[in-house]
Amino acid sequence: MGYADVRRQDVSAAIEEYDESGKDAFLAAYGYAEARQYVLVHDGRRYDSKAIVGVAHKYLSGAALTADMFSGGRATVGRHLTNLGFQVEGMDAPARLFLQPRGRQDGGAEHFANTVVEGVVLAKHAEALGADLAALEALYPDGVAKLWGNTPPAFEYHAKAKALKARRVGDRVLFYADHSFIAEAVILRLFDNERAARSIWGADRQGRTFAHMAALGDVRIYDPPLDARPALQAIGLGTVRHFMQAPQGFRVDPAASDQTAAEPPVFSVEDLLDRLVTLDPQQRAEDARRREAVALLWAIGQKVTRQRRWHTEEDFRHGVGDLLRDFDGEPDPEVAKDLFWHLEGTDVWAVELADAQPLAGFNDVCDTLLSSVVVRTKAISALRSRHLNAITEDEELLSRLGLGGYARVGGGSRAAGDRNEAAPRRKRNGDAVGRRRSVAETVTSLHDDKCQFCDTRLLTGVGFYSEAAHIRGLGAPHEGPDHVGNALCLCPNCHARFDRFGIYIDHEDVVRQAHNSEEVGRLRRHPEHAIDDEHIRYHRSLCRITPPPDPSA
């Protein structure tokens, strides 16, 4: 027997001996040099991979292998340890983490208890396992295997399908149930066996078997279970609905006894906006990201106008396809169909299966965040400013989606500085007719048409001109009042920038650019013009403000 016959339990025994003896004594006792490139990593500790396998042979046959009896490279020891489910530094790729819902329906809890916790007696399913039996017996010498299976995904674009294809030996799996992580395990072997799956678990309500099977090792049951919500919220998820690959950097500490300590940060509004600015990082083409932005705006419009979060593939394809045809010149209906699935790459989108029918929409956390008018306004601005520059009719696009009020902070209110417009009239003392000044006329007259931000007084051929800008837009969605306390006298340039979230007033009345917080002016106040500071704070909340660079950095 050679190094390739060494079993997982033999390696574990050699690791224990290594820990007891210490590195130097272990290597000296068996005549091994220190590993230079490929290092076994187990429970956070590093081991000399060739020495471990050579000594593990002792626990298989009674005699350790000497260093000159076999090669310790990637294709030999490294590959064998990886196939046994161990992590080896220097191999092709590090182990990944997958999230696996235990499931409530179709006997999920019972299956987990029977085949992961207790294990499957291989002899009872020997005939159904067929050619897979010998490999499983080698992994589980006691004849009891820890097995789990997944039903085939109904749609190739679904994240579950991608995750199933990405699995490999050595990857870790976190089992999830009832907002908690209940166990973890390492994948020792992957195989598809419909007959064995039916023999072990039967079939689900749609008649599908759990044929995508995994043999598991190092199963650790969390008692008590770990609260999964902080970690999931940190990546923008509310729950785990299907088998999926965890994003890079996902962290759960099963050894932490204090569940209230060191919780991951909650997925924030800024996280959402960052995702919308970036969209799918795998999608480099500008036109592809533009179409993703259009699709997400359509979904926001559905949320606002129809209170609808989840969308069938057909409704999505028709709704988004019509927008792409009219505003992006994209007639191919397959583009909208692909977006339905590929938007999952943005990390704000989820595709779920309901009675074998796919439904898509914003994921749990993002949908909650988008319930706020302020967050929706910022989200729409982020998509417009970064991805819709090539669409000249972007405000018309928003109006068609029922989002016209989000195009500007002033909503649909007009610029109110035209002194030639007929004034509203009211009766006074019976037959007397008196002129009533509008809010616009009052504000622009108080400031003598001089911009409150930059002091510009614009001279035209018919006199001076300025515009009254509402701070908080009238009507939906901002619901601001038509009152002098909610208006400013601005020049057309400052009005356009203020109305489109480009500049804001800080808490010290300094006017700053939103994209870098650079000072561009100062709000000039008038003793007879009482501005409601609450409206200024509201406008500021709508702007995505980038702090200035740290000069000490």
State the 10-residue block means of pLDDT for the chain, 553 residues long. Answer: 85 94 93 83 88 93 87 72 79 75 82 94 95 89 93 80 88 91 91 96 89 92 88 79 84 52 62 87 78 95 92 93 88 85 87 77 90 92 89 89 87 40 34 53 94 94 91 89 93 94 93 91 94 93 78 49
Q: How far is residue 553's CA from residue 539's CA, in Å, rounded to a whole number?
A: 30
Instruction: Return the C-alpha torsion angle 367, 369, 372, 378, nearest 10.
Output: -110
What pLDDT, on the 0 to 100 scale, is given for residue 549?
62
Percent helix, strand, coil in the chain, to 5, is: 40, 20, 40
Instruction: Return the C-alpha torsion angle 222, 223, 229, 232, nearest 10.
Output: 0
| Cβ proximity of 18 and 47 under 8 Å | yes
DSSP string of 404-439, one letter each residue: GGGSSTTBTPPP---TTSPPPEEEETTTEEEE---H
Q: How far is residue 85's CA from residue 82's CA, in Å, rounded to a whole number?
A: 5
Peptide bond into 477 cis (omega under 30): yes
Query: Of 217, 216, 97, whose CA–CA distance to 148 is shortest?
Result: 216
For residue 93, the SS3 value is coil
Q: Label residue 155 exposed, middle or buried (CB < 10 Å: 0-12, 13-18, 19+).
A: middle
Ordered strands of the 144-150 beta sheet: 120-121, 144-150, 212-227, 180-192, 172-177, 97-101, 244-245
Burial 94-114 (b: 16+ CB within 10 A, else e): ebbbbbbbbbeebeeeebbee
pTM > 0.75: yes or no: no
The structure tokens listed for 224 are: 């008590």
Q: How far is residue 485's CA from residue 500's CA, in Å, rounded to a whole number?
A: 20
| Cβ proximity of 272 and 349 under 8 Å | no
CB atoms within 10 A of CB 26: 20
Q: Label residue 34 exposed, middle or buried (CB < 10 Å: 0-12, 13-18, 19+).
A: exposed
Specify the amino acid at residue 548: P
Query: Of 385, 401, 215, whose CA–CA distance to 320 is shortest?
Result: 401
What pLDDT, on the 0 to 100 scale, is given for residue 90?
65
Ordered strands of the 357-362 beta sheet: 311-312, 357-362, 349-354
Phi, psi of 214 (to 5 degrees): -135, 135
For residue 546, the SS3 value is coil
The structure tokens listed for 110 are: 């019972």
Contacts of 35 (CB under 8 A, 6+ apart): 48, 49, 50, 51, 72
The structure tokens listed for 56 are: 């593990």
What pLDDT, on the 0 to 100 scale, is given for residue 290?
92
